[in-house]
A and B are shown apart, each in its own frame.
Chain A
């Protein structure tokens, strides 16, 4: 019962917020983009893949900002020692009772007008849906199609392997031409 209430309240809040979002849409590729926002779930293997993708952007001098959700409550400080400053991690303790992320880093991430937002989570869970939907990025890429998804482009990778999904995104952004 509580889950249903959480869902109803969450969706209601999201609907309200969407109408207030001002977002300028646009498209760019790897040669023209200047900033990218990356959203991912902080598990060992996804972190590695996100890291790989971020190195790709870093090498091209594209400004990165990443936000990662970790499905835990306790944070091990030692494990965060070497996380680069452009990656912010939030946990379950940063969520409200109905699942809305309630922390400064996430709010900041959502208001940044990235050229491209990449949602690597490939999940329709509320926390990811909330951030992707309310992000003011110009172009949004996701990996899962769901009702009212916020994406301008969905890249489906059926094998469900994060490595392949990352390659797909990189190849797409690198090889698509932008008309002036």
Chain B
């Protein structure tokens, strides 16, 4: 991880030098580093310009040509990319790269099956499989093709003995994106065994334990991170305090937050943490005052608006809650939990059409792609008016991303039951039982009349007997 950071820093410095002095002599790898830097900041035009300059100095470099084709693809200039590829494909040294590039073009054109074929071939022919997989996954991650990236990273884990830590890190990130937190935690644990002095991985491990609600383990990970290095550790301390607070030790958590504030008076996250502690202690008046202080200091602090909306919702003051929630929704970045909360507040006020429109506007954003709670609410709102459409929406998402989420499965079983499609309902109940049988209770809460249904009860009881 730190090697990666160093590379980025060096690339940035080289890029600055390049911008100030175009006549400066650069080695081939330095040109490539500069180009990499521009790719990192999504400036493909500059990256291409660097590549052109580099080709003047190193006209026979196939590596530069491969990079050029890659840049054209990323910039959606497929014809130009094809031309470059045709120029280099006769060279057996770059045959692997050619397959990767062709796969990339297919991904850009949404031809996923063909892309997989090219990538598979590239890996098969490659002598440096980790480098090839890294190239493929770097592109797939940028293109948000998480499932496919995960497939190749899992393959890398199987076939490469000393796997590059970057690939392990990416795999963990893919698992996080697909809500497979346990698997992500396993990877981070392995990474801390390989390099126990990497503070970033301890932070990642602590964060993932938080997502798994394993707060004691998270605290341990954060403590080890602080033991490795106490530099730039405010965020770690804040996360640790948050875990302590969730475990109910709010006084202890407030002490940590105050310690942070002693060093950095303006640390608004620490102030927010203190407010959250009061909220958890149900001392709403103080929490409310602190949240209002936070938004007056920083009107963009959306978490504070969200918390204020939660407090007002609890007091059944939905109109004010809605006003605060509106400040958390913007076109640039949507936090799925905020969208869900907004939808619920609108529903509480029976503003069904408005709830539908708000959800519709934001639900298709990348950040909501894997948030099943937001999709469940969206489907619920749609189903109020048109149950078939609600089912269609949820079923599509289930097949795309939520195949392993029991709650989605139970909801589909419920909607099919309401829609008098018992056979389909039973299929989803069977799948849900496989995923998480304890959640059957939630299904019966949604659909108590299913307890009178012989077929459903037979499925449930035969599952219980088998277990």
A and B form one complex: yes
Which A residues are closer than 8 A to B by beta carbons?
Answer: 29-31, 44-45, 48, 51, 55, 58-60, 82-84, 170-171, 174-175, 177
Please give the distance in Å from B356's CB to the nearest CB on chain A. 13
Whether a CB of chain A sits under 8 angstroms from the CB of B384 is yes
Q: Are A175 and B452 in contact (CB under 8 A)?
A: yes
A171 to B452, CA, bound (A): 11
Looking at the complex, which of B151-159, B300-308, B347-355 is the stretch in contact with chain A?
B347-355
Q: Are A48 and B316 in contact (CB under 8 A)?
A: yes
B residues contacting the other copy or chain, number (CB 8 A): 14
Contacts of A48 in B (CB 8 A): 316, 348
Contacts of B451 in A (CB 8 A): 174-175
A30 to B448, CA, bound (A): 10
Whether a CB of chain A sits under 8 angstroms from the CB of B146 is no
Q: Are B350 and A170 in contact (CB under 8 A)?
A: no
As a 0/1 sequence over residues 370 to 408 of chain B, the CB contacts with chain A under 8 angstroms (1 = contact) are 000000000000011001000000000000000000000
A-B CB contact pairs (8 Å), 28 listed: A29-B449, A30-B449, A31-B449, A31-B452, A45-B316, A48-B348, A51-B348, A51-B350, A55-B384, A58-B384, A59-B383, A59-B384, A59-B387, A59-B418, A60-B418, A82-B350, A82-B351, A83-B350, A170-B448, A171-B448, A174-B447, A174-B448, A174-B449, A174-B451, A174-B452, A175-B448, A175-B452, A177-B452
Contacts of A51 in B (CB 8 A): 348, 350
Q: Give the residue among B349, B384, B387, B451 with the most A Cβ atoms within 10 A.
A: B349
Residues from 329 to 368 in B contacting A, C-beta threshold 8 Å? 348-351
Contacts of A170 in B (CB 8 A): 448
Residues from 410 to 455 in B contacting A, C-beta threshold 8 Å? 418, 447-449, 451-452
A60 to B387, CA, bound (A): 10
A48 to B387, CA, bound (A): 23
Which single member of B316, B387, B452 contacts A44 (CB below 8 Å)?
Answer: B316
The total number of A-B Cβ pairs within 8 Å is: 35
Contacts of B418 in A (CB 8 A): 59-60
Contacts of B351 in A (CB 8 A): 82
Chain A, residue nearest B315 (CB): A44
Chain A, residue nearest B414 (CB): A59
Contacts of A82 in B (CB 8 A): 349-351
Please give the distance in Å from A176's CB to the nearest CB on chain B. 9
Contacts of A171 in B (CB 8 A): 448
Contacts of B448 in A (CB 8 A): 30, 170-171, 174-175
Please give the distance in Å from B110's CB to the nearest CB on chain A. 36
Contacts of B316 in A (CB 8 A): 44-45, 48
Known A58-B384, A59-B383; judge A84-B350 contact (CB<8 A): yes
Chain B, residue nearest A59 (CB): B418
Please give the distance in Å from B414's CB to the nearest CB on chain A. 9
Please give the distance in Å from B244's CB to the nearest CB on chain A. 31
Chain B, residue nearest A43 (CB): B316
Contacts of B383 in A (CB 8 A): 59
Q: Give the residue among A51, A174, A177 with the most B Cβ atoms within 10 A.
A: A174
Given contacts A45-B316, A51-B348, A82-B350, list 6 more A-B pairs with CB under 8 A. A44-B316, A51-B350, A58-B384, A59-B387, A59-B418, A83-B350
Please give the distance in Å from B419's CB to the nearest CB on chain A. 10
Chain A, residue nearest B418 (CB): A59
Contacts of B447 in A (CB 8 A): 174
A58 to B384, CA, bound (A): 7
Please give the distance in Å from A51's CB to the nearest CB on chain B. 7
Please give the distance in Å from B415's CB to the nearest CB on chain A. 9
Chain A, residue nearest B346 (CB): A82
Chain A, residue nearest B349 (CB): A82
A59 to B387, CA, bound (A): 8
Please give the distance in Å from B319's CB to the nearest CB on chain A. 8
Please give the distance in Å from B416's CB to the nearest CB on chain A. 13
Contacts of A29 in B (CB 8 A): 449
Chain B, residue nearest A45 (CB): B316
Chain A, residue nearest B316 (CB): A44
Please give the distance in Å from A174's CB to the nearest CB on chain B. 4
Chain A, residue nearest B354 (CB): A82
A82 to B346, CA, bound (A): 10
A45 to B318, CA, bound (A): 11
What are the 7 tightest A-B residue pairs by CB atom distance, in nearest-first order?
A174-B448, A44-B316, A174-B449, A82-B350, A30-B449, A82-B351, A171-B448
Please give the distance in Å from A122's CB to the nearest CB on chain B. 19
A59 to B349, CA, bound (A): 18
Contacts of A44 in B (CB 8 A): 316
Chain B, residue nearest A55 (CB): B384
